Amino acid sequence: MAYEETVNRLRSSFREGKTRPLQFRISQLKALNKFVEENKEQILESLKKDMKKPLFEVELSEFSLLKSEINLALNNLTTWTADEHVSKNLVTALDSAFIRKEPFGVVLIISPWNYPVNLSLIPLVGAIAAGNCAVLKPSEMSQNTEKLLADGLSRYLDKDCFAVVLAGVEGTTRLLENKFDYIFFTGSPNVGRIIMMAAAKHLTPVTLELGGKNPCYVHDECDIKNAARRIAWARYFNAGQICLAPDYVLCSDHIKEKLLSELQSSIHEFYGEDPKQSPDFARIISVQHFKRVSALLACGKIVTGGQTDESEKYIAPTILVDVKESDPVMQEEIFGPILPILTVSGFDEAINFINDREKPLAAYVFSSNSQVSSCCVCDMS
Ligand code: NAD
């Protein structure tokens, strides 16, 4: 079986108990931190080559999140791993009763390309902290970062306990034939189904961190300028390739024009006259994704942006209006710098619109009316 040797090597280290001692876990977490610190320039360079990731975005969304996760684990490892007292009942009256946190064994981490450092290494922090051996399978789409992780981690982490597998769809399919003790997958719902089926063969527990269409409701009573700045920031960060990005906006006809104008001002303020020249605006990861996202520009009417350049995989920050619910842009997660604005009569229609669709990863509500924001929490199913 493909990759059997790698999995077996890790499994024997796990069986020997190599990853269990706290000192080992601490040393590996510190080694991971050292890898990031000593290779910062190379990481920045590979993220730039992969998708022209802006410097500030890398600092915020890759480095700082990862470093705080490593610190969180280092600071809490002793508490997290300590036995937990439980009260006894009739059945356990004669026993010593406690909860001991056991590592799973050899875990598989499959990560996506949009935050290829953070979404590969944060799950790895968890795996190390919990005393597991781990195989990391980064995305082949972010190919420069993928190779940097494979090369770097093999120099900093214990090779008998941690491995990076470079594989596309075919290779990952073969990798998944092996028995893992836990699978942590981040990616699309379609691939999530494939992972779950492969895991089911071995009854392997899984965590699936998936995507979806995140609605954004802007209520008539709200600070529209503030809402627009926040929506534009989150929609166009990483050129919209974020699982938690606001995917579409719902608002009433009454505030639509004002919201549009504030969104346009925000785009101008953030990315200047020509966003293509802005050092703060990323590119689409691949030609295949460029084509998929560009095709969505045919939906409704473009009021801002719409410019594309395939040679650079550039799609301008775009706003669409007059979009129909049946349009392709409303059928799939956009995962690109396009923001459709749809009108609803008010709060109740917005809630029904959202509840009629698949459960999103997040829903954003902008309102200065506390009753509206608290109602949203109760009414969204
Ligand atoms: P993807 O599902 O295409 O790929 C994710 C991983 O699965 C990659 O490593 C890829 O090599 C592997 N893969 C792809 N096809 C496979 C197959 N047939 N069999 C086995 N493995 C396969 O996702 P993506 O395009 O890399 O990332 C975008 C998606 O991830 C979006 O849906 C986004 O919302 C989601 N996402 C979710 C989160 C979260 O935390 N919930 C974070 C980031 C991204």
Cα 183 from chain centre: 16
* Run of H or E residues at 342: strand 338-343
Cα separation of 263 and 267, whole Å?
Answer: 6
Give the residue among 124, 62, 157, 248 at the shortest CA–CA distance from 53: 62
Active site residues: 209
Model confidence band, residue 219 (pLDDT cutoffs 50, 70, 90): very high
Q: How far is the CA of 117 from the centre of ligand 1 (A)?
A: 14
- C-alpha dihedral sign at 228, 234, 235, 238: positive
Is the Cβ atom of 209 under 6 angstroms away from ligand 1?
yes
Residue 131 has a pLDDT of: 98
- Between 8 and 375, name the one with better pLDDT: 8
Q: What is the pLDDT of residue 372?
A: 80
Mutate which of 172, 195, 333, 335 for ligand 1? The one with the most ligand atoms within 8 Å of its CB, which is 172
What does the alpha-carbon distance between residue 167 and residue 230 come to, in Å, rounded to a whole number?
A: 37
Atom of ligand 1 nearest to the CA of 333: 32
* 158 pLDDT tier (thresholds 50, 70, 90): very high
- Burial label, 344 (beta-carbon count in 10 A; 0-12, 13-18, 19+): middle
CA of 185 relative to ligand 1 center, distance in Å: 8
pLDDT surpasses 90 at 86: yes
Confirm or reject: Cβ of 110 under 6 Å from ligand 1.
Answer: yes
Q: How confident is the model at residue 2 (pLDDT cuts 50, 70, 90)?
A: confident
284 close to ligand 1 (CB < 6 Angstrom): no
Atom of ligand 1 nearest to the CA of 194: 19
> What is the average pLDDT value for the chain, to the nearest integer?
96
Q: For the CA atoms of 151, 153, 159, 162, what is the dihedral angle to 10 degrees?
A: -120
Enumerate residues 6+ apart whose C-beta is below 8 A from 259: 218, 224, 227, 228, 249, 251, 341
Give me the phi and psi of 372, to 5 degrees please: -65, -50
Instruction: Tell me the whole-structure pTM to 2 decimals.
Output: 0.95
Per-residue pLDDT tens digits for 329-361? 999 999 999 999 999 999 999 999 999 999 999
Mean pLDDT, rounded, for 137-147: 98
Integer Cα distance of 89 and 102 in angstroms: 23
**Which residue from 66, 108, 122, 191 has its CB within 8 A of the most atoms of ligand 1, so it is best to mutate?**
191
Query: Does the beta carbon of 247 sit less than 6 angstroms from any atom of ligand 1?
Result: no
The whole-number average pLDDT for the span 58-84 is 97
> Which band of pLDDT confidence, cut at 50, 70 and 90, is reported for residue 376?
low
Please report the pLDDT score of residue 377 as a whole number: 60
Does the CB atom of residue 194 touch ligand 1 within 6 A? yes
Q: Assess contact for 341 and 251: CB atoms under 8 A.
A: yes
Query: Is the pLDDT confidence value at 381 over 60?
Result: no
> For residue range 222-265, what is the model confidence (pLDDT) as tens digits?
999 999 999 999 999 999 999 999 999 999 999 999 999 999 99
**Ligand 1 site, residue 169, Cβ cutoff 6 A:** yes
The tens digit of pLDDT for each residue in 272-283 reads: 999 999 999 999
Show the tokens assigned to 253: 């006809």
Does the pLDDT value for residue 24 go beyond 70? yes
| Tokens of residue 156, six digits | 């900093």
**pLDDT value, residue 27:** 98
**What pLDDT sits at residue 370?**
83
